[in-house]
Structure 1
Amino acid sequence: MTSTSNAKLSLGALTAMVVGSMVGAGIFNLPGRFGTATGPFGAIIAWAIAGTGMYMLARVFQALAEKKPDIDNGVFAYAKAGFGDYMGFLSAFGYWLGSCLGNVFYWVLIGSTLGNFFPEVFGDGSTATAIIVSLIGIWLFHFMILRGVEQAAFINSIVTIAKIVPIIVAILAFVFFFNYTQFSENFFGGVGMPEKTLVAQVRDTMLITVFVFLGIEGASVYSRFAKKRSDVGTATILGFVGVTGLMVAITLLPYASMPRATIAGVNNPSLAGVLEVVVGHWGAVLIKIGVLISVLGAYLAWSLICAEVLSAAAKSRDMPKLFAAMNGNRVPANALWLTNIIVSLFVISTYWSADAFNFMLDMTSVTALLPYLLVAGYGVLVARRGEGYETTPNERTRDLIFSWIAVIYTIVMFLAAGLEKVLLLAVLFIPGTAILYVWARREQNARLFTPTELIIFGVTLVAGLAGIIGLLTGAITV
């Protein structure tokens, strides 16, 4: 985030990093995704589960920032400290890969948003024209970031403010036109919607809630740049509380403006569609402009995070040392090149996807779950051992409970994602292990796996082969 080693990030800057990372594309698609899945009652339960689980995860990040101040770039570094080299690699690779997939999702959303203005050209965001425009955008951002992260960080701060304004306008409009009768009719599912059990309704919202919370670790990723170590945890909690309030409002208030079937039927970005029903065409235009600003800003933030994670993993020898190299502007250039090559390949692959929009959203969510699970698991280990609690023993039991709840939450999210998504994740881990992990270990003349790690790799390999067979036979579709 800085061009000099002496410059440090304030609490406000760290909080903006969390908000900027979290408020991206997902929040603009909450009404339609929830409207398709459930009514207000199911939505309230879903947010209670997601909010509690992610709050506990945020508290784990906060506790680890305080109890383990020597561990920087927390997301994958915590996994390595707690569970060894291979799990540290899988966490780093999974987090980096999920960030890449998230960036692909951003470009698909940009294409689908432009498709609202030029439907024959951009379509749903996966047409040939949309892909070409996305590739141009990816590499324009690439060369801008290569000129210096400080310039990119300044743009991110401006964009973070700009993209909040349309969301606030939408919330105020929904409050002004709140119709209690309509809200009541939608409350338990609404008229003309398919009958589903409450459990099924809530389950169908789980991956979108994971997606919109991605970025909660934004401050932790840049912990080594913080002016005060305690600011990392504080920024995480402040960002979480503020953004959660926005997301819950954006989800629930549209139910008081129109039938649930109408919400479910609007095009992406769905917030534009529902606001258009409430206030007219200008509302849709405002949101679409907000989407483009927000997504470009979030893409910038996640491009920085992608490069930082890959570079930091290389510095800690979890990735090949090639990716630790900095250019003259102190940007991890090789890490950025690999990131954008992978993003470009995935963008091209959306041409053959049946539903690129939701597929990329769901896969981004699933890839984040393993790093989150390992962070929560490390929180359990630290609290059980009492490491760092010498002066605050009264906090140990509390943090242990928080960590266990975060572990249970992430496991439940894996179950909600479904076997297909988990197998596809394993498919992606196989080449990552075969190329990057083996490369890094050979550079160090270190043995590949401990006996326990070999078992973990074996399970990953079997799951990945099952995923490949599923893709080849058509049992798994993308």
Structure 2
Amino acid sequence: MWSLVALIIGSTIGSGIFSLPQNVASAAGPGAMLIGWVLSGVGMLAIAFVFQVLAVRRPHLDAGVYSYVRAGLGDYIGFASGWGYWLGSVIAQVGYATLFFNTIGHYVPVFGPDHPVATAVAVSALTWTIFAVLSRGVKQAAFMNAVTTVAKLVPIGAFIVLVAFLGFSWERFTLDLWSTGGSTGSVFDQVQGIMLFTVWVFIGIEGASVYSKQARSRRDVGRATIIGFLTVLALLVSVSTLSYGVLTQEELAALPDNSMASVLEVVVGPWGAALISLGLCLSVLGAYVSWQMLCAEPVAMMAFDGLLPRRLGAVNIAGAPWAAQLASSVVIQITVVIFFLNETAYISMVQLATVLYLVPYLFSALYLVLLAARGRGFSHPHAGELFDDSGPTVSRGDNRRHLVVGVVALLYACWLFYAADLTYLLFGALAVLPGLVPYVWTRLQASERLFNTFEWAVVALLLAAAGGAVWGLSQGTLSL
């Protein structure tokens, strides 16, 4: 169970927490920030509980996020969720590595912003090095992740203690509590503006669910999810709240990406910035390993279930899904080239990756609502073998609680899509669209029905959004 907890913390505490002071301050004042954390805490806790409940109610679904959606809503919806999760992980990888080398560039000029080619080469080398480690098996990678998780928590803990006792000023924190004189708009606008940032730093909370097939006990998956969530929430709220007591909102918003280092530098001097920069490098390295592990799993599972070519599900003698890991590494490499040629900013990578992660969150919550309300999801050809209509007996009281959890998580996911920038929604649809090609090809090869009624509606919406993205690109009105 503790390996699963380490996987959650390792994949969730990545680059986001180190840029959190600047990200949040760019959109909200201290008061709106606290409201945003309450909403995000409740919403993401509900989503964490969705995966915990589904792990118990559907113990035979052992491919995590993807398998829940597929069982409840149909093969294509499951595929789209797995595909979106995979692409989000790929983009997150590039964002992690970019921030990693930008931080190193502060001390080693060859990786500075004036040398993008050197950074791109270094990101590529890191990707293939991690691939070599992962090909040796999950246990070796999990051990590496556990070591980096412990190592990066030390500087984060030091930041919280040092700022709390040496730098935090209540007067500064409350100086402009609601940011009434700023350009960030009303409190509602401020809360809406920080939503995707708060979700980004929670991405990975479902990590234990993704690896549920490799867990010793299904109940360990649920326990690890809750323990990991509460630990991450405490760290995130502490870092963002304490920062407002050191610098004003305007000063925080003007900081570079590694803004946590700048805040600690104000409190204790340059050695504080160096400590946090070291922590960021360890954190991003650990997250890089975790996410390169995680992003291969949906590909391997979809290949195993016949939604992608079966060759992608190949496993080597060490038990590693090397074909899926190889495919993921190749796509990461292509994404590195595209993003660096377009000089895509780290913040844009964050927003796009977050939108793609929201797809499985939304559909997993919808499945739990259907499960609690009617006992099953939507019908499709493989409902029987996916145990859609069977599972452990659930009492009426537990079922009502599960329904409440599902509804809260579903409303929160819908709110996040509403709060997201339309640009990233359109580009997210454009990124998911190419998955139709291998999906339709494998379905035709197996003489299977392409889509059920619900899936046809989703495909139509996807095509419309992707068409809007193409039109915006052609007219020059959309860009990353």
With the length of structure 2 as denominator, give the TM-score of the two structures.
Answer: 0.93
- Tell me, yes or no, if structure 1 residue 62 matches structure 2 residue 64: no
| Cα deviations by residue, 1:280-330 (Å, 9 ceiling, x for unpaired) | 100110111111111011110111111122111211222221111012222
Residue of structure 1 equivalent to 2:406: 403
Residue of structure 2 equivalent to 1:412: 415
| Cα deviations by residue, 1:63-120 (Å, 9 ceiling, x for unpaired) | 1111111111220111111111110110110111111111111111112212322456
Residue 259 of structure 1: CA displacement?
Answer: 1.8
Residue of structure 2 equivalent to 1:19: 9
Residue of structure 1 equivalent to 2:433: 430
- The equivalent position to 1:181 in structure 2, one of 146, 158, 171, is 171
Could you tell me how far apart the structure 2 residues matched to 1:69 and 1:452 are?
Answer: 25
Residue 185 of structure 1: CA displacement?
Answer: 0.8
1:108–1:356 CA contact under 8 A, matched in 2: no
What SS does the aligned partner of 1:70 have?
Answer: coil
- The equivalent position to 1:476 in structure 2, one of 468, 473, 478, is 478
2:27–2:184 CA contact under 8 A, matched in 1: no
Residue 355 of structure 1: CA displacement?
Answer: 4.4
Could you tell me how far apart the structure 2 residues matched to 1:339 and 1:356 are?
Answer: 22
Measured at CA, do residues 194 and 452 of structure 1 come closer, stay the same or move farther in structure 2, by a change above 3 Å?
closer
Letter in 1 for 2:198: T
Letter in 2 for 1:407: L
- The equivalent position to 2:442 in structure 1, one of 429, 440, 448, is 440
- The equivalent position to 2:321 in structure 1, one of 301, 320, 332, is 332
| Cα deviations by residue, 1:14-53 (Å, 9 ceiling, x for unpaired) | 1111111111111111101111111110110110111110
Residue of structure 1 equivalent to 2:382: none
Could you tell me how far apart the structure 2 residues matched to 1:244 and 1:55 are?
Answer: 9
What SS does the aligned partner of 2:44 have?
Answer: helix
- Tell me, yes or no, if structure 1 residue 394 matches structure 2 residue 397: yes
Could you tell me how far apart the structure 1 residues matched to 2:400 and 2:38 are?
Answer: 23
- Tell me, yes or no, if structure 1 residue 46 matches structure 2 residue 36: yes
Alpha-carbon RMSD: 1.6
| Cα deviations by residue, 1:189-233 (Å, 9 ceiling, x for unpaired) | 287x42511111111111111111111111111112222211111
2:21–2:240 CA contact under 8 A, matched in 1: yes
| Cα deviations by residue, 1:167-199 (Å, 9 ceiling, x for unpaired) | 0000001101221111111422287x4251111
Residue of structure 1 equivalent to 2:457: 455
1:321–1:440 CA contact under 8 A, matched in 2: no
2:89–2:353 CA contact under 8 A, matched in 1: yes
1:71–1:77 CA contact under 8 A, matched in 2: yes
- The equivalent position to 1:350 in structure 2, one of 312, 334, 339, is 339
Letter in 2 for 1:399: H
Residue of structure 2 equivalent to 1:82: 72
Residue 384 of structure 1: CA displacement?
Answer: 1.1
Residue of structure 1 equivalent to 2:185: 196
Could you tell me how far apart the structure 1 residues matched to 2:329 and 2:264 are?
Answer: 34
- Tell me, yes or no, if structure 1 residue 110 matches structure 2 residue 63: no
2:59–2:391 CA contact under 8 A, matched in 1: no
With the length of structure 1 as denominator, give the TM-score of the two structures.
Answer: 0.94
Q: How many residues align?
A: 465
Measured at CA, do residues 190 and 131 of structure 1 come closer, stay the same or move farther in structure 2, by a change above 3 Å?
farther
Residue of structure 1 equivalent to 2:86: 96
1:320–1:443 CA contact under 8 A, matched in 2: no
1:190–1:260 CA contact under 8 A, matched in 2: no
2:184–2:190 CA contact under 8 A, matched in 1: no
2:178–2:187 CA contact under 8 A, matched in 1: no
Residue 422 of structure 1: CA displacement?
Answer: 1.0
Letter in 2 for 1:167: I
Residue of structure 2 equivalent to 1:161: 150
Could you tell me how far apart the structure 2 residues matched to 1:120 and 1:146 are?
Answer: 30
Could you tell me how far apart the structure 2 residues matched to 1:200 and 1:335 are?
Answer: 41
**1:125-274 equivalence runs, <5 A:** 127-176=116-165, 177-189=167-179, 193-274=182-263
Identity %: 37
2:160–2:238 CA contact under 8 A, matched in 1: yes
Could you tell me how far apart the structure 2 residues matched to 1:231 and 1:48 are?
Answer: 27
Could you tell me how far apart the structure 2 residues matched to 1:115 and 1:196 are?
Answer: 35
Could you tell me how far apart the structure 2 residues matched to 1:456 and 1:39 are?
Answer: 37
Letter in 1 for 2:450: L
Residue 414 of structure 1: CA displacement?
Answer: 0.6
2:102–2:111 CA contact under 8 A, matched in 1: no
Could you tell me how far apart the structure 2 residues matched to 1:120 and 1:158 are?
Answer: 28
- Tell me, yes or no, if structure 1 residue 284 matches structure 2 residue 267: no
In structure 2, list runs of 5 or more residues that go unmatched.
376-389
1:61–1:217 CA contact under 8 A, matched in 2: yes
Could you tell me how far apart the structure 2 residues matched to 1:47 and 1:303 are?
Answer: 28
Residue 351 of structure 1: CA displacement?
Answer: 2.1
Measured at CA, do residues 35 and 168 of structure 1 come closer, stay the same or move farther in structure 2, by a change above 3 Å?
same
What SS does the aligned partner of 2:183 have?
Answer: coil
Residue of structure 1 equivalent to 2:386: none
Residue of structure 2 equivalent to 1:467: 469
Could you tell me how far apart the structure 2 residues matched to 1:309 and 1:408 are?
Answer: 25
Residue 451 of structure 1: CA displacement?
Answer: 4.2
Measured at CA, do residues 190 and 258 of structure 1 come closer, stay the same or move farther in structure 2, by a change above 3 Å?
farther
Residue 361 of structure 1: CA displacement?
Answer: 0.5
What SS does the aligned partner of 2:152 have?
Answer: helix
Could you tell me how far apart the structure 1 residues matched to 2:392 and 2:129 are?
Answer: 47
